[in-house]
Chain A
C-alpha cells in the first residue's frame, strides 16, 4: 500500500480549504542574523555567558535563563554533520524524481537544517561541512541565501 492509496469503498467526500496567508517579520534577531548573512556572508550566533550556551541561528534571548543576549559571534561557515536523511517522497507522499539530501549541521550549541550538496555515499556523521552561499548580489536575506552544505574541500 503506498502513501496515497485510498480504499475503493471510501465514503463520499467534498473538498474545502482553510485559506490563510501570512506576512511574517524577521524579528529582532532575524533582522540582524539575515543582514549579516546577506551583506557580510556570515552565520551569526549569540552567546549566553550565564548559561555558557551559544545559539545558532542567533536569538535575542536565552530560553534557559530568559536573559537578553548581546554577545553576537561569527561562527564561521564550517559546521559538523550531526545527522542526515535521504528523502524519497515529498510532503504529499509523491515519489521524488531524484532523492534529496537534508542534514543537520551543528554550529556552537545549535545548528542549521539545510540541503546537502553531496553524494549520500560520501557522507559520514561527524564530518565537517561548509555552507555554500549565493553570490552577494543574489542574496536576499533568507535562509535560501545558503544554497546548501557540501564537504569541505581538502
Chain B
C-alpha cells in the first residue's frame, strides 16, 4: 500500500514498582535514555516523538502529555500524545509506525509512562468519572464492576471455572520471576494462592488482578534504510490494527471481544498471516485480569471461543510450549503502569525475537510475535505483529 518498512531498533524499560520516587517525567526520561543507549543513538538522531499515557487522573496532571514532554525528549521536535485508555501502549507503536511508514520521519522515539501511585488512596477511584454522568454515575460505579460482570458472563457463557482461569495468573507470575523489572514475579505461586486471595468483586479476587504500578517503557523505530545501517537484528512491524466497539457496555457481547477480532484481522491481513495459530510463535495479549487473556486469545483467533484456557491446561502457553503466552510475565506478573505495560509487550517481542530476553528467552528461535492491548471504555482493541 505504498508504505515503507518500519523496524524496532532499540528498547528501554524502568523497573515497574508500586511507588516510584521518580516523577512521571523522570520515569519517562529514564526509559527514553535507556532506549537511546540500547541502539547508540542521541537525541540529535530523533526526528519526532510519540508519547503514550493513559488518563490524566493517574499522574494527577491535566493534559499530562504536555507535562511529560520534556522527559520524553520532545523539546523542539514534532510531538504527539496518543490516548486510547488501556489500549494506549500498543496504539503508540501504531502511531509511531505511520509516522515512519508514511515517509514523514526516518527515526522516531516512542515513550509510554504511567504513575498510578499518585492517585490517593487508590487509583481505582480515578475511573469513577469515566462513566456516563446521567445514567451510571449516580450509582457510584467503580471499575471492578465492569471486569466482574464481564468475567461472570464469560464464565457462564462457556462454562469455565475459576480454578482453570487461575492457571493464567499462576503462569504469568511465574514467568515474571525471570524479569528483572517485575514487581510480582513469584516462582512458587499456586492455583490455591489465587483462589484463596481476597474477594474484591466476585468472581474477581486479588490475585486475578494486575497491580497498580509506576513505570515507563521506550522504543525507537526506524525506516528500513536506517535500520539496516544501525543494527544487524532489526525487528519489523509487519502488521497493525485497531478497532472500537460500542462505548455502551450494556450493548456489547461481554463473552467475546469482537473489537479485538477486527483489530487482529486488520493486522493479520497486512502481515500476510492466514493461519495465526501456526504462524504466530509468541503472543503477548493484554492481561490486566487473568480471564482477559483468554478473552483476548480468542479474539486474536489464537484459540476457539471458550477454549483459550486449554492452552494453559495443556502447556501450549508455557514458556517452553508451542505458543508461549506472555513470556514477559505480563501485567499480572511484571506490573501494570497502564500505557507502559502495553509498550512493554512490544519491547518483550523485540527482545524475544532478537534472542535477547535473558532468562525469559523462549526456545526455538521464534520468528513472529503478536502484541495486543485493550482499553478506552473497555472496548478498544490494538494489535501489532512483529517479525524478523
Residues of A within 8 A of B (CB): 1-4, 6-7, 10-11, 15-16, 18, 22, 24, 26-27, 30, 34, 55-57, 63, 82-93, 102-104, 106, 109-115, 120, 125, 142-144
Residues of B in contact with A, size category: 35 or more
A27 and B250 contact, CB distance less than 8 A: no
Instruction: State in angstroms the CA–CA spacing of A6 and B116 once bound together.
Output: 13
A143 and B201 contact, CB distance less than 8 A: no
A144 and B60 contact, CB distance less than 8 A: no
B149 and A3 contact, CB distance less than 8 A: no
6 extra interface residue pairs, beta carbon distance < 8 Å, beyond A85-B149, A93-B121, A143-B138: A2-B198, A11-B19, A34-B134, A102-B148, A104-B254, A125-B156
- B246 and chain A: residue at smallest CB distance: A63
B136 and A84 contact, CB distance less than 8 A: no
Given known A-B contacts A24-B134, A91-B125, A125-B153, A113 and B60 have beta carbons under 8 A apart: no
Residue of A2, A22, A84, A92 touching B133 (CB-CB under 8 A): A22
> Closest approach, in angstroms, between the C-beta of B142 and any C-beta of chain A?
4
A18 and B250 contact, CB distance less than 8 A: no
Instruction: State in angstroms the CA–CA spacing of A84 and B152 once bound together.
Output: 7
Indicate if B43 sits at the interface (CB-CB under 8 A): no
**CB-based A-B contact count at 8 angstroms:** 132
A144 and B124 contact, CB distance less than 8 A: no
Indicate if B163 sits at the interface (CB-CB under 8 A): no
Contact bitstring B120-160, A, C-beta under 8 A = 1, else 0: 11101101100001111011111111001110110010000
A3 and B18 contact, CB distance less than 8 A: no
B120 and A15 contact, CB distance less than 8 A: yes
Which residues of B have CB within 8 Å of A55? 248, 251
Contacting residues of chain B (191-229) with chain A, CB-CB under 8 angstroms: 198-204, 206
- A57 and chain B: residue at smallest CB distance: B135
Indicate if B62 sits at the interface (CB-CB under 8 A): yes
B145 and A85 contact, CB distance less than 8 A: yes
B18 and A87 contact, CB distance less than 8 A: no
B121 and A110 contact, CB distance less than 8 A: no
A115 and B139 contact, CB distance less than 8 A: yes
B21 and A11 contact, CB distance less than 8 A: yes
Residue of A26, A86, A89, A113 touching B134 (CB-CB under 8 A): A26
Which residues of A have CB within 8 Å of B206? 1, 3
- B136 and chain A: residue at smallest CB distance: A113
> Closest approach, in angstroms, between the C-beta of B380 and any C-beta of chain A?
15
Which residues of A have CB within 8 Å of B125? 91-92
- A142 and chain B: residue at smallest CB distance: B138
A6 and B19 contact, CB distance less than 8 A: yes
> Closest approach, in angstroms, between the C-beta of A52 and any C-beta of chain B?
14
Instruction: State in angstroms the CA–CA spacing of A85 and B153 once bound together.
Output: 10
Instruction: State in angstroms the CA–CA spacing of A10 and B22 once bound together.
Output: 11
13 chain-A/chain-B pairs, Cβ below 8 angstroms = A18-B62, A24-B133, A85-B144, A85-B145, A86-B148, A87-B144, A91-B143, A91-B144, A92-B122, A92-B125, A93-B124, A114-B139, A125-B153
B134 and A27 contact, CB distance less than 8 A: yes
Which residues of B have CB within 8 Å of A56? 250
B21 and A125 contact, CB distance less than 8 A: no
Residue of B124, B199, B246 touching A91 (CB-CB under 8 A): B124
Residue of B152, B200, B203, B249 touching A113 (CB-CB under 8 A): B249
B143 and A113 contact, CB distance less than 8 A: no
> Closest approach, in angstroms, between the C-beta of B310 and any C-beta of chain A?
23
A87 and B145 contact, CB distance less than 8 A: yes
A30 and B136 contact, CB distance less than 8 A: no
Which residues of A have CB within 8 Å of B271? none
Instruction: State in angstroms the CA–CA spacing of A110 and B128 once bound together.
Output: 21
Given known A-B contacts A18-B60, A87-B201, A92-B121, A102 and B246 have beta carbons under 8 A apart: no
Of A30, A92, A113, A115, most B-chain CB atoms within 10 Å: A113
Which residues of B have CB within 8 Å of A82? 149, 153, 254
Instruction: State in angstroms the CA–CA spacing of A102 and B147 once bound together.
Output: 12
Of B20, B138, B248, most A-chain CB atoms within 10 Å: B248
A113 and B202 contact, CB distance less than 8 A: no
Which residues of B have CB within 8 Å of A90? 142
